Structures are given as C-alpha cells and as structure tokens.
Amino acid sequence: MKAETVAAVEAGIEESMEPERQAMGAESAARPADEELMLAWSRGSTEAFAELFSRYKQPIYGFFRRRTRDAARAEELTQEAFLVLVRKASAYEPKALFRTYLYAIAFKILRAHRRKAVFRAAFFGDSGKTREAGRGDATEAGLWVRRAVEKLDRKDREILMLREYEQLNYDEIATLLSLPLNTVRSRLFRARQALRELLEPGTAPESRTTATEARVGESL
C-alpha cells in the first residue's frame, strides 16, 4: 500500500468516527452525567439505571464482541457486566469516570472468560476454532485491516483497540491496564507504526480501491 493509501485508511477511520463524536458532544450538554446517574441508581432510581443501560449496552457489547468473536457469548458477558453493576451499586463512589469504572468491570469479566477458555482448551480440547468471525465490515478491505490488527503484540493491540474502538483517553487506558501513562503513549505509537507497516505495499489485494480503503474505519 502506498503512503497516500495508508493516509486514506487513516482518514477514513477519523471520518467514520467524527459524526459520532459530534453527536456525543451535543448530547452531553443536555443530559445528566454518567456519574450522577450511577449515584441516583445507588439510591434506588430505576430510571437512572435504565438510562445508563441505554447509553452503554451497545459499547459494552461491542467491547466483548470484538474480543470473543462469538455473538451469543458477547451478549452473555454484556449481561453479566450489568449484573455486576447492579450488585455493586450501593458501594459505588465517583472516584473516576463512570465509563472507566464500567470498563474495569468488563475487563475483569473478560479475563475470567479467557481463563475459562484456556481451561477448556487444556482439558477438553476446545481450541476455539469454531468461533464466529468478529463483528465488523465483511468486505475484503475490512477483513484485511482486522487481520493486520490481530497480528499486533497483544498488549499493543489492546491499547490500540481501547483508543480507536472504545475511544478511551490515555488516562483511562492507563488505569484499566495498570500501566504508566507514558507507556500507554509509547505503546500506542508503536502499535500504530506496526499497523502501518502491515499495510505496506505487497500486502493489499490488487482489487482494492482507495474509496474502499477510506471506508475501512467502519470495521473498527
């Protein structure tokens, strides 16, 4: 892939995210903060919990869907995350952003799920090869980019996904992964550089067009 093509891919990613960012900014000025809703829920407001569920059901489902590649399992893990949120309501303290708190719950559930998967693979021969393909753009371009992401170092890939998919900031990522802020910055830079190298000439199918590449952001 030529340099201008790589730029087109990155431009496509940013362009695909911009409408969502603008919408979120407009909505945030007219609705209560997540932390306020969680405090209200801790005091028994079911309406507050319903609003939090409405805001975060799809993002949390997407978080699990991209990491488990199984739609039904992602749905189960999403429900589990919100059940934990229900159980922990009375102990909630707004020491950090609510979404950081919720993603920390999701990470804990994901790690437990992965440990169980390793156990099944070791003792029952379940290699996980029958899992569904991940959600996202099913076009050749989208599949190509996702495969490139999967080749990244695991920790680098996680940082990249949290930043590009979940749109978390550096501080949130550092908190979730228990890493120094500068480490997050450097590893994110390394992940992006590695991804660019994987998208260099010779790896892209000849049939791909710049227009298709510009829509690759939809697969992220």
Taking alpha carbons only, the member of 198, 219, 169 closest to residue 16 is 219
Q: How far apart are CA 214 and CA 21, in angstroms?
A: 18
User: Do 93 and 156 fall into the same domain?
Assistant: no
Total number of residues shown for the chain: 220
User: Do 179 and 196 fall into the same domain?
Assistant: yes
pLDDT of residue 132: 39
Residue 7 lies in a domain: no
User: Do 112 and 68 fall into the same domain?
Assistant: yes
The contacts found for 69-76 with CB under 8 angstroms, 24 or more apart, are 69/131, 69/132, 69/133, 69/134, 70/131, 70/132, 71/132, 71/135, 73/113
Work out how many domains the chain is built from and give that number. 2
* CATH number, domain containing residue 154: 1.10.10.10
* CATH number, domain containing residue 49: 1.10.1740.10
Domain limits at 186?
137-220
Residue 10 lies in a domain: no
Q: List pLDDT tens digits, range 143-170.
A: 666 777 888 888 999 999 999 889 999 9
Q: How far apart are CA 58 and CA 37, in angstroms?
A: 18
User: Do 86 and 148 fall into the same domain?
Assistant: no
Q: How far apart are CA 155 and CA 177, in angstroms?
A: 9
Q: List pLDDT tens digits, range 114-136.
A: 888 776 666 665 544 434 334 54
Record the pTM. 0.69
Q: How far apart are CA 100 and CA 6, in angstroms?
A: 31
